[in-house]
Amino acid sequence: MTMQKDRSGAPRRCLAIVLAAGEGKRMRSTLPKVLHRIAGRSMLAHVLDSVTRAGADSIAVVVGPGRDDVAAEARGNAPEARVFVQSERLGTAHAVLAARQAIAEGFDDILVLFADTPLARPETFSHLRERLRAGAGVVALGFEPADPTGYGRLLTDGAGALLAIREHKDAGPDELKVGICNAGLMALDGARALGWLEQIGDDNAQKEFYLPDAVAIARAGGAACALVMAPAEEVLGVNDRAQLAVAEAEIQRRLRLAAMLNGATLVAPETVFFSFDTVLGADVVVEPHVVFGPGVTVGDGCVIHSFSHLEGATLAKSVAIGPYARLRPGAKLAEKARIGNFVEIKQADIGEGAKVNHLTYVGDASIGPRANIGAGVITCNYDGFLKYRTKIGADAFIGSNSALVAPVEVGDRAFVGSGSVVTDNVEADALAVARGRQAVIPGWATAFRKKMAALKAAK
Ligand code: UD1
Ligand code: CA
């Protein structure tokens, strides 16, 4: 976090206003646009995280009328954020003024952000704020898209000073030739912002109150306006699901790069998908085609073999999982545990060095250190109404194809014969066999063949 200071050295107080009142019609979704997820969390949550990391002292989120879901997501991700409702959708300046009460409290810096522009980095917000500190009244964020159609154009004088922003629909032919576009995000001097915002009118092609008009108004009032450039991929706006996928690709690119620079080997990085909060230790190897859902922490030296899916799981050091392992929320694997192919683990502690190697479901369970769970073992944790726990002791051995009907406990060092259906506790050091006893009748097959062959011949 960067603490911005003014020229006398006092910390500058910053209000971040996040606009999230758009309708997002082009998403063609019942879910509000800003609640669509990239890398495991909503676009709104990404933006709130960036402004928090950029050192905002106060956050205002502007939502559309009746959007309790968006308000709840804002509060869930930034508990101190204040939510304001924009009752009518009359443009970006009108939306900012929905947070008038917060602006009027008096901040040094005001940042305006769009919740549908989720990839802007905290450093970029800091750059905007630095220009305010240097004396600018309004700082716009510019970028050069491959195709500028639809964006506002940043109009500068010969010396590069920012004069005005012209929306595409209001621009003349020469203005449309300008390649530097408005990313939308903006910083305004807190002491003067309200005065400028109140002067913005709606006499334009869309009959909307345009926030970008703050530039020309500030200049007319004698304030200098500045321009900060950002890479196009950082200010990508998400309006439809195709752009949502582009944003996802960009954030995955960043997460993969960060994982590798932090000391993880990704054999085929483009096939590994992370969540915003995935934590990988040093010398982790991730083989191709692995998906990390939210809430995964992987300790040093772990190997994640191909085609594994992890969510809400914690792996201590030197654990190996997969190929084809599924770790669901609450899976906790102690050091050197081994989870093999087609194994599902949910709400379960797997002890140090324990092995669950093939075709197994372990749910609502704890498995002791060095225990060996054979192929095809199932913890039967659910009776259709409630869930129950299975406890397996240290060094226990559960034979293949056994069903452990919870609640049930198998003591330390105990054995369970394969094919058992275990309904009662097994004490430490015991053997439990719970299956039909084998009967062997010598010569039975010979007699059977002889009888059947005779019957067939008589037909
Ligand atoms: C805006 C900018 C344009 C810039 C572009 C970058 C304006 C007038 N234009 O255009 O210069 O190039 O972004 O993507 O600002 N919103 C509200 N309430 C409203 C209107 C908008 O909350 O009444 C929110 C939307 O949810 C969205 C953001 O403001 O998050 C931008 O609105 P949008 O209508 O998408 O603006 P653009 O036309 O894309
Ligand atoms: Ca937009």
User: Helix axis angle, 68-77 relative to 43-53, nearest 10°?
Assistant: 40
Q: Which residues contact 79 (CB under 8 A, 6 or more apart)?
A: none
Write down the pLDDT at residue 6.
66
Task: Please write the tens of the pLDDT for every residue from 317-368.
Answer: 999 999 999 999 999 999 999 999 999 999 999 999 999 999 999 999 999 9
Write down the pLDDT at residue 10.
78
Write down the pLDDT at residue 3.
67
Residue whose CA lies nearest to ligand 1 atom number 21: 92
Write down the pLDDT at residue 38.
98
Q: Report how far ligand 1's centroid is from the alpha carbon of 441 (Å).
A: 83
Structure tokens belonging to residue 334: 């102690």
- From the CB of 95, is ligand 1 less than 6 Å away? yes
Atom of ligand 1 nearest to the CA of 206: 8
Write down the pLDDT at residue 8.
67
Which domains are seen in the chain, by residue range?
14-235 (3.90.550.10), 241-432 (2.160.10.10)
Write down the pLDDT at residue 160.
81
Tell me what the mean pLDDT of segment 147-162 comes to.
Answer: 92
Tell me what the mean pLDDT of segment 196-212 comes to.
Answer: 98
Structure tokens belonging to residue 213: 């008009």
pLDDT category, 22, cuts 50, 70, 90? confident
Cβ count within 10 A of residue 52: 17
1 pLDDT more than 60: no
Q: Report how far ligand 1's centroid is from the alpha carbon of 85 (Å).
A: 16
Tell me what the mean pLDDT of segment 83-110 comes to.
Answer: 97
- From the CB of 143, is ligand 1 less than 6 Å away? no
Task: Please write the tens of the pLDDT for every residue from 240-250.
Answer: 999 999 999 99
Write down the pLDDT at residue 352.
98
Tell me which of 127, 168, 305, 358 is the catalytic residue: 358
Q: How large a percentage of the chain has pLDDT more than 70?
A: 99
Task: Please write the tens of the pLDDT for every residue from 300-310.
Answer: 999 999 999 99
Write down the pLDDT at residue 37.
98
pLDDT category, 455, cuts 50, 70, 90? very high
Task: Please write the tens of the pLDDT for every residue from 254-312.
Answer: 999 999 999 999 999 999 999 999 999 999 999 999 999 999 999 999 999 999 999 99
Q: Measured between alpha carbons, how far is 2 from 56 in angstroms, rounded to an integer?
A: 10
Structure tokens belonging to residue 444: 């039975």
Neighbours of ion ligand 2 (CB under 5 A): 237
Q: Measured between alpha carbons, how far is 333 from 395 in angstroms, rounded to an integer?
A: 16
Q: Report how far ligand 1's centroid is from the alpha carbon of 183 (Å).
A: 9
Write down the pLDDT at residue 132.
97
Write down the pLDDT at residue 158.
83
Q: Let me know if 94 is a catalytic residue.
A: no
Q: How far is CA 232 from the centre of its chain?
A: 22
Q: Which helix (H) or strand (E) holds 218?
A: helix 214-220
> Mean pLDDT across the chain, nearest whole number?
96
Structure tokens belonging to residue 21: 């009142």
Atom of ligand 1 nearest to the CA of 24: 26
- From the CB of 399, is ligand 1 less than 6 Å away? no
2 pLDDT more than 60: no
Q: Report how far ligand 2's centroid is from the alpha carbon of 33 (Å).
A: 11
